Amino acid sequence: MSTPQPAFPDPALGDGPLATALARGAGEVLLGLRSDVDAAGGAFDAKTLKDAGDAAAQAWLAAAVAQARPGDAVLSEEAKDDAARTGADRVWIIDPLDGTREFAERAGHGAPTDPWRDDFAVHVALWVRGTDDATGGPGGLAAGAVALPARDLVHTTHEPSSAADLDAAVAAVLAGDRPLRIAASRSRPPAFVAALAERDDVELVPMGSAGVKVVSVVDGTVDAYVHGGGQYEWDSAAPVAVALAAGHECTRLDGTPLEYNRQDPWLPDLFVCHPALAAHLRAALSEVGVEIKEGAQS
């Protein structure tokens, strides 16, 4: 396979536009790999394509960040972690390919002529010490972008959507006119999500990739995404930055703040919801046994 190499972003870009350009560029790298497969007749080995995607997107992003912001630290799923980043003032938190399995799958029956799945993403976030946002710790998410390359979309913090645009749609949930729609894993929904699905007022919407699930809240495809199986910071940093910028509520499952750029980048759970439905969803979670902290945001 050849490796497409889009031009690196202009270092003069501000952090928000730079995050967008980085996510878009890595997405072009990934789509180029799929195009190589199609040009060769359409057959492929899934593991080979997954590995190629992870490696190519990581290599391009690492070089592009180093050129644009050589003094910044990086935390990436596909690179060795340097603990010195916890003392840095600026840290890029990156997932070069979120939804690796979905990237290397075709829809339908998987025939060489079937279309590729479109539910994978590229995550690029910037954590900055001293940034005051809804996350916790000594800093916050100052910029972020989630690219959905197969849909030719990039959700960003510098050109955010607005949760208020969805107010009329979510009011129907509170009125009992439609179920609460929750993004869920196609294959591994947590037990409490399965319990929620047994309620008449909840509908699960299966999809892949944590990033796709979170931006599906942002664009109104679903009302919420709740996760309890554990993730790493790179799985949620950019999607949470985009969702916060749009006005959605993003916390731990129990309502406590998310924290990023910690020594251990493991995050046990995640709650992302339209703000008008947060109390409604927390009540439902409590009814299926999820502990909610007193004073949690609602």
What digits encode the pLDDT tens for the residues 40-60?
A: 999 999 999 999 999 999 999
What's the domain range around 283? 166-288
Q: Does the annotation flag 198 for ligand binding? A: no
Predicted confidence at residue 5, as pLDDT, reads: 86
Total domains, the chain? 2
Residue 294 maps to a domain: no
End-to-end CA separation in angstroms for the chain: 49
Q: Are 150 and 102 in contact (CB under 8 A)?
A: no
Query: CA nearest 161: which of 183, 172, 145?
Result: 145
Helix (H, G, I), strand (E, B) or coil at 128: strand
Residues 88 and 134 in one domain: yes
Residue 6 maps to a domain: no
Asked which of 113, 138, 156 is the last residue of a domain, the reply is 156
Decide the pairing of beta strands 270-273 and 224-227: antiparallel
Residues 36 and 107 in one domain: yes
Q: Does the annotation flag 51 for ligand binding? A: no
Residues 142 and 176 in one domain: no
CATH of the domain at 252: 3.40.190.80
pLDDT in tens, the chain (298 residues): 555 689 999 999 999 999 999 999 999 999 999 999 999 999 999 999 999 999 999 999 999 999 999 999 999 999 999 999 999 999 999 999 999 999 999 988 888 889 999 999 999 999 999 998 888 899 999 999 999 999 999 999 999 999 999 999 999 999 999 999 999 887 767 888 889 989 889 999 998 889 999 999 999 999 999 998 889 999 999 999 999 999 999 999 999 999 999 999 999 999 999 999 999 999 999 999 888 776 565 4
Residue 186 maps to a domain: yes
Residue 5 maps to a domain: no
Residues 139 and 51 in one domain: yes
Residues 205 and 91 in one domain: no
Predicted confidence at residue 183, as pLDDT, reads: 94
Residues 181 and 276 in one domain: yes
Tokens representing residue 235 in the block: 């799985």
Residues 196 and 263 in one domain: yes
Residue 228 maps to a domain: yes
Q: Does the annotation flag 18 for ligand binding? A: no
Residues 31 and 76 in one domain: yes
Residue 295 maps to a domain: no
Residue 76 maps to a domain: yes
Tokens representing residue 17 in the block: 């536009």
Residue 8 maps to a domain: no
Residues 237 and 130 in one domain: no
Helix (H, G, I), strand (E, B) or coil at 75: strand
Q: Are 76 and 96 in contact (CB under 8 A)?
A: yes
Query: CA nearest 163: which of 17, 276, 271?
Result: 276
Residues 143 and 55 in one domain: yes
Residues 192 and 123 in one domain: no
Q: Does the annotation flag 97 for ligand binding? A: yes
How many Cβ atoms are within 10 Å of 75's Cβ, its own excluded? 25
CATH of the domain at 106: 3.30.540.10
Asked which of 129, 156, 183 is the last residue of a domain, the reply is 156
Q: Does the annotation flag 118 for ligand binding? A: no
Asked which of 156, 174, 204 is the last residue of a domain, the reply is 156
Q: What is the spatial distance between Cα 86 and Cα 255, in angstroms, rounded to a whole number?
A: 24
pTM here is 0.94
Residues 141 and 203 in one domain: no
Decide the pairing of beta strands 180-184 and 202-206: parallel
